[in-house]
């Protein structure tokens, strides 16, 4: 009771402050974020916004592709797909009957994969028998399945953008709902964390293979990106694709997926963000009612091997039936290191806007590139990451010609400090991006939960612009000298396949 009163008082206080400042600046929104921790260790962030009668709901797990065992790449992503297959009470006509069949399907599938792995030595008759047995079981199983029930429940209740995504660092489940339907979300999400049923496993594995074809095998950008990361990281799992290598995906077992799922169950690694037309004390009560039943886990996280310092420049070439493009990347520390902010500013100075250094030079002045884009923080934030420059030469110029100019520009950063005007412009742009991001429930829920789950405290960002403000030309020069060296560099190029 007492605790509830405290929540109430807290809200009175903030509402008062907010009304005084609401009309002068949107930054005050930050004061309204309520953070709570359930007894089992699950973190909840809430933010009231009454612009529309809707709510954005994000669940983030500190579990991603980096947590996979070697040889099982793609397991985290396949699990994310399996999480849409229902629970013991959602998506079934008769769970007890299903359970027996599911065990049979798994057994047959595992045996089939095992035989197929023998490659040349595999017995074609065994493969044929197991294949038809699996097919038969799958058809039998269908009679018990009510497919796509989670999606049906959400859309039918007005849900929008129901989705999930797997990253190297984090896996996310999100949906937006009319504000009166939060309980539906709590009901479904708790259930799938406690009682998921991984139906249609082998069919879904085929779907993921199609996803890989779509995003990598038939897409030059995807192909180059994959090879680039695989060269830049030799030891750390950031070098593996989130989707998984083909040979790993085709062999993924239900066990590999269950292993990752065990990590999901740790409420200490879960952050929920609810942004929209809510009453936080009531919303919290509802969340507590459902999510408190997930038992605390206290399991230690697996140690991910660190990437040793790079000692020599690495180069990789991909041949593809497509026009040339390239990625240049340098290892650097991740947030919240000060130098990570420095690279945010540098990224803006180099390629944000038409007057940015590299866009202006390569696209407008020299006219040798179709596009150029710098990115800080590839491919994740949990571990030391990369600062990259991606560019596409304009015909008839080549990757090699473009590379010379880009590297010359990078050298310039070491010898001449950037001007104050460039710095101010970059800081204006970062500030604008920040303000624009406050404009949507979805973005707010996404951002709050992302930083809370990765860095343990969303308030890391309360000082983001303050720290950005401190970055000087000398900082950029120092960081360029320290990190943007040939020995610390990976260059991946995609060139047109000759017939």
Partner 1 sequence: MILIKMNSKIIKTSISYITFLFIVLLLTVGFFATIASAEFPLPSPDKIGYPPLHFNLPEAQRIVLENGIVLYILEDHELPLISFNALIKTGSMYDPEGKEGVAQLTAYVMRTGGTTKLSSTEIDDRFDFLAASLSISMAMESASVDFSFLSKDVDQSLELLAQILIQPAFEQNKFILARELEIEDLRRLKDDPQRLAFREFNRLIYRNNSRGRFASMKSLSKIERDDLIIFHKQFFSPDKIMFSVTGDITKEQAVNKIHQYFGKWETNGLVTKTPDLPQKINDGLYFINKEIPQSTIICGELSVSKNNPDFYAFTLLDFIIGSGGFPSLIFSAVRNNEGLAYSAGSFYRAKPDYGIFGAYAFTKTQSSFKTLSLINTVLKKAKSNTITNKEINWAKKSINNGFIFSFLEPRQIALQQMKLEYDQLPLDYLLSYRDKIENVKASDINRVAAQYLDENNRVYLILGDTKRFGQPSISFGKPVVINPAD
Residue 299 CA to residue 328 CA, distance in Å, equals 38
Q: Given candidates 75, 327, 378, 493, which one binds partner 1 under the rule CB under 8 A?
A: 378
Q: How far is the CB of 116 from partner 1 (least distance, A)?
A: 16
Angle between helices 95-117 and 124-142 (to 10 degrees): 160
Which window, 260-268, 389-397, 412-420, 476-484, contacts partner 1 (CB under 8 A)? Answer: 389-397
Q: Given candidates 95, 106, 113, 211, which one binds partner 1 under the rule CB under 8 A?
A: 211
Number of other residues whose CB lies within 10 A of the CB of residue 462 = 13
69 scored as a contact of partner 1 (CB under 8 A):
no
209 scored as a contact of partner 1 (CB under 8 A):
yes
Rule CB under 8 A: which of 437-496 touch partner 1? Answer: 437-441, 443-444, 446-448, 450-451, 458-459, 461-465
321 scored as a contact of partner 1 (CB under 8 A):
yes
DSSP element (H, E) containing 210:
helix 201-212
Residue 221 CA to residue 207 CA, distance in Å, equals 21
210 scored as a contact of partner 1 (CB under 8 A):
yes
Question: Which among 68, 27, 56, 121 has a CA at the least distance from the CA of 437?
Answer: 27
Q: Given candidates 299, 315, 395, 481, which one binds partner 1 under the rule CB under 8 A?
A: 395
Q: How far is the CB of 156 from partner 1 (least distance, A)?
A: 5
Residue 310 CA to residue 327 CA, distance in Å, equals 17
Q: Given candidates 262, 433, 481, 486, which one binds partner 1 under the rule CB under 8 A?
A: 433
Cβ atoms of residues 127 and 112 within 8 Å: yes
Rule CB under 8 A: which of 94-133 touch partner 1? Answer: none
Secondary structure class of 426 (helix, strand, coil): helix
Of the pair 81, 236, the CB lying nearest partner 1 is at 81
Cβ atoms of residues 263 and 159 within 8 Å: no
Residue 220 CA to residue 10 CA, distance in Å, equals 53
Residue 359 CA to residue 364 CA, distance in Å, equals 7
Query: How many residues bind to partner 1 according to rule CB under 8 A?
Result: 149
Q: Given candidates 70, 121, 300, 354, which one binds partner 1 under the rule CB under 8 A?
A: 354
Of the pair 22, 411, the CB lying nearest partner 1 is at 22
Q: Given candidates 48, 204, 403, 475, which one binds partner 1 under the rule CB under 8 A?
A: 204
Q: How far is the CB of 261 from partner 1 (least distance, A)?
A: 16
Q: Given candidates 94, 132, 148, 419, which one binds partner 1 under the rule CB under 8 A?
A: 148
Q: How far is the CB of 220 from partner 1 (least distance, A)?
A: 5
What φ, ψ does residue 272 adopt, rounded to 5°?
-110, 135
Of the pair 130, 185, the CB lying nearest partner 1 is at 185
Residue 371 CA to residue 101 CA, distance in Å, equals 53
**DSSP, res 167:** -
DSSP 24-65: T-GGGGGGG-EEEE-TTS-EEEEEE--SSSEEEEEEEES--G
Q: Given candidates 225, 264, 330, 483, which one binds partner 1 under the rule CB under 8 A?
A: 225
Binding flags for partner 1, 70-89, as an x/- string (CB under 8 A): -------x--xx--x----x
206 scored as a contact of partner 1 (CB under 8 A):
yes
Query: Do you find a cis peptide bond into 336, omega within 30 degrees of 0?
Result: yes
Residue 93 CA to residue 449 CA, distance in Å, equals 35
Cβ atoms of residues 272 and 449 within 8 Å: yes
136 scored as a contact of partner 1 (CB under 8 A):
no
Q: How far is the CB of 212 from partner 1 (least distance, A)?
A: 8
Binding flags for partner 1, 175-194, as an x/- string (CB under 8 A): -x-xxxx-xx--xx-xx---
Q: Given candidates 68, 98, 263, 344, which one binds partner 1 under the rule CB under 8 A?
A: 344
Question: Which among 143, 253, 149, 136 has a CA at the least distance from the CA of 196?
Answer: 149
Phi/psi-derived region of residue 367, left when phi > 0, alpha when psi is between -120 and 50, beta in every other case: left
Of the pair 25, 300, the CB lying nearest partner 1 is at 25
Cβ atoms of residues 268 and 41 within 8 Å: yes
Q: Given candidates 200, 307, 403, 475, which one binds partner 1 under the rule CB under 8 A?
A: 200
203 scored as a contact of partner 1 (CB under 8 A):
yes
Rule CB under 8 A: which of 150-179 touch partner 1? Answer: 151-153, 155-160, 162-168, 176, 178-179
Q: Given candidates 5, 8, 10, 122, which one binds partner 1 under the rule CB under 8 A?
A: 10
Cβ atoms of residues 429 and 352 within 8 Å: yes
């Amino acid at each position: 009771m007492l605790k509830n009163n405290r929540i109430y008082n807290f809200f009175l206080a903030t509402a008062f402050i907010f009304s005084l400042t609401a009309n002068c600046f949107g930054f005050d929104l930050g004061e309204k974020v309520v953070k709570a921790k359930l007894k089992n260790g699950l973190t909840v962030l809430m933010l009231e916004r009454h612009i529309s009668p809707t709510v954005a709901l994000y669940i983030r797990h500190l579990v991603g592709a980096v947590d996979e065992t070697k040889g099982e790449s793609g397991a985290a992503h396949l699990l994310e797909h399996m999480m849409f297959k229902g629970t013991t009470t959602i998506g079934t006509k008769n769970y007890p009957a299903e359970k027996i069949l599911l065990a049979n399907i798994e057994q047959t599938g595992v045996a089939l994969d095992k035989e197929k792995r023998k490659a040349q030595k595999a017995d074609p008759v065994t493969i044929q028998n197991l294949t038809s047995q699996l097919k038969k079981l799958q058809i039998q199983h269908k009679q018990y399945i009510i497919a796509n029930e989670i999606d049906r429940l959400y859309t039918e209740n007005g849900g929008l953008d129901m989705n999930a995504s797997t990253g190297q660092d984090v896996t996310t489940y999100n949906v937006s709902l009319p504000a009166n339907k939060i309980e539906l979300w709590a009901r479904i999400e708790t259930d799938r964390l406690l009682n998921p049923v991984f139906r249609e496993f082998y069919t879904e594995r085929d779907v993921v293979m199609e996803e890989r074809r779509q995003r990598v095998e038939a897409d030059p950008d995807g192909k180059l990106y994959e090879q680039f990361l695989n060269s830049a990281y030799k030891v750390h799992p950031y070098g593996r694709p989130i989707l998984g290598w083909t040979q790993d995906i085709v062999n993924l077992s239900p066990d590999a997926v269950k292993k990752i799922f065990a990590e999901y169950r740790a409420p200490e690694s879960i952050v929920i963000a609810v942004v929209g037309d809510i009453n936080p004390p009531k919303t919290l009560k509802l969340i507590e009612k459902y999510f408190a039943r997930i038992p605390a886990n206290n399991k230690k996280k697996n140690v991910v091997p660190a990437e040793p310092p790079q000692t020599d420049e690495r180069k990789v070439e991909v041949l593809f039936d497509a026009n040339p493009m390239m990625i240049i990347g340098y290892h650097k520390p991740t947030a919240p290191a000060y130098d990570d902010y420095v690279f945010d500013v540098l990224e803006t100075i180099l390629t944000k806007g038409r007057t940015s250094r590299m866009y202006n030079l390569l696209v407008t002045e020299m006219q040798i590139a179709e596009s150029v884009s710098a990115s800080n923080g590839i491919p994740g934030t949990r571990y030391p990451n990369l600062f990259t420059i991606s560019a596409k030469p304009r015909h008839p110029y080549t990757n090699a010609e473009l590379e010379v100019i880009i590297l010359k520009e990078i050298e310039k950063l070491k010898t001449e400090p950037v001007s104050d005007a460039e710095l101010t412009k970059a800081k204006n742009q970062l500030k604008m991006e920040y303000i624009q991001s406050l404009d949507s429930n979805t973005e707010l829920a996404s951002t709050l939960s992302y930083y809370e789950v990765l860095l343990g405290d969303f308030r890391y960002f309360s000082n983001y612009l303050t720290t950005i403000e401190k970055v000087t030309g000398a900082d950029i020069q120092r960081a360029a000298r320290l990190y943007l060296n040939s020995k610390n560099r990976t260059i991946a190029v995609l060139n047109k396949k000759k017939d």
